[in-house]
């Protein structure tokens, strides 16, 4: 996608704030992997409330659960590039959810200086 517009794929990875890989936050390991593999970019968002496969509610309103809020990583690139990195992401994750959807990229460029 680097410098391209048109058809792309949006990958969303849902996991918990407490999820780790080699002692570090899992979201950091995934973003580092995406960057190392040359994907167009990634954004990590910390949610204020959610639940997943366990149906356990995670919210910032309950102090003991506020350290395990939902995390969403979003990445847009070509379908091919995302497909090549998916097995590596899957190997890093324990629980969680990964979704893919088609998107139309309107603009992707660095900030003008």
In tens, the pLDDT along 25-73 reads: 999 999 999 999 999 999 999 988 777 777 666 666 655 545 678 999 9
Identify the band that residue 1 occupies on the pLDDT scale cut at 50, 70 and 90.
very low
Identify the band that residue 98 occupies on the pLDDT scale cut at 50, 70 and 90.
very high
> Which two three-digit tokens encode residue 79?
């379908």
CATH code of the domain occupying 6-105? 3.30.70.120
| 69/65 Cα distance (integer angstroms) | 7
Is the pLDDT at 89 greater than 90? The verdict is yes
Please give the average per-residue pLDDT across 81-102, as a whole number.
Answer: 95
pLDDT confidence of residue 48: 83
């Amino acid at each position: 996608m680097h410098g391209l517009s048109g058809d792309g794929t949006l990958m969303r990875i849902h996991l918990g704030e407490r999820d780790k890989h080699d002692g570090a936050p899992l979201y950091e390991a995934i973003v580092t992997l995406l960057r190392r593999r040359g994907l167009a970019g990634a954004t990590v968002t910390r949610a204020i409330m959610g639940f997943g496969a366990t149906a356990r509610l995670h919210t910032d309103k309950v102090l003991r659960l506020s350290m395990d809020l939902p995390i969403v990583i979003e990445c847009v690139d070509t379908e091919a590039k995302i497909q090549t990195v998916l097995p590596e992401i899957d190997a890093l994750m324990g629980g969680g959810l990964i979704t893919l959807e088609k998107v139309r990229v309107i603009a992707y460029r660095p900030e003008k200086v």
